[in-house]
Chains A and B, each alone.
Chain A
Amino acid sequence: KQEVTQIPAALSVPEGENLVLNCSFTDSAIYNLQWFRQDPGKGLTSLLLIQSSQREQTSGRLNASLDKSSGRSTLYIAASQPGDSATYLCAVRPQNAGGTSYGKLTFGQGTILTVHP
């Protein structure tokens, strides 16, 4: 059974710091990994999608890496800002035995990030 773990559970940093959020998964048989951001009481906003064949993806101040063989992904946030404060979730789309077509995401528990001025 696929399990996804995110470390740390919470992180508080001063504005301007570079930071790294970690995600690990137990089964390397995945199609892709997706990082989401969630503001309190809101839906999930997709930040980055990494295919299993890719090593990293970048969008603005965000960079996500994927090491499928070791079951790890990191989300790097450069020059953090108070507006980055949110919960960050990683989710893997595991390969399905039997060829089912819908793909069931497995989520980590999230990292709560607070960036203070």
Chain B
Amino acid sequence: DTEVTQTPKHLVMGMTNKKSLKCEQHMGHRAMYWYKQKAKKPPELMFVYSYEKLSINESVPSRFSPECPNSSLLNLHLHALQPEDSALYLCASSQPMGLRGEGSYGYTFGSGTRLTVV
């Protein structure tokens, strides 16, 4: 299995709703990522989990709450979002690199969740 699976593919939510995005991979990757992508822009990193621990939070507002229940799953909990949070949310996975750079791996991305906040 060489895929990253994201659900749902599309999500419309109101500004007072609570919803969650899910991501799953079975490649044995121990680093997982959330990216946000606006139209005609490259993806922007939001969070990094390495060995199930949060390694990077790119100053993301607290209305986005990541969770990594185990090495295969990554969730993004959404609450009180704003219309400007509407975007394509991408999950990715990779292997962490060794402390001396050994093991240089590529990323595998999921197909994304198209989120619309109304």
Contact = CB atoms under 8 A, between A and B. Distances in A.
Interface residues of B, number: 31
Interface stretch (B13-21, B65-73, B74-82, B101-109): B101-109
Q: Which of B42, B97, B112 has the most CB of A within 10 A?
A: B42
A86 interface: no
B106 A101 contact: no
A106 to B, nearest CB: 9
Contact of B109 (A41, A46, A52, A93): A46
Interface stretch (A30-38, A61-69, A74-82): A30-38
Nearest to B88: A41
B48 A102 contact: yes
A41 B114 contact: yes
B109 A43 contact: yes
B7 interface: no
Nearest to A36: B109
A104 B101 CA distance: 13
Interface of B: 4, 6, 31, 41-43, 45, 48, 50, 55-56, 88, 90, 92, 94, 96-101, 104-112, 114
17 contacts: A34-B106, A41-B112, A41-B114, A43-B90, A43-B110, A44-B43, A44-B92, A45-B109, A49-B106, A52-B104, A101-B96, A101-B99, A103-B97, A104-B45, A107-B43, A108-B42, A109-B41
Interface of A: 31-32, 34, 36, 41-46, 49, 51-52, 89, 91, 93, 95, 99-105, 107-110
Given A46-B107, A99-B99, 20 more contacts: A31-B104, A32-B104, A34-B106, A41-B112, A41-B114, A42-B112, A43-B4, A43-B110, A43-B112, A44-B107, A46-B109, A91-B107, A101-B31, A101-B96, A101-B97, A101-B99, A102-B97, A105-B45, A109-B41, A109-B42
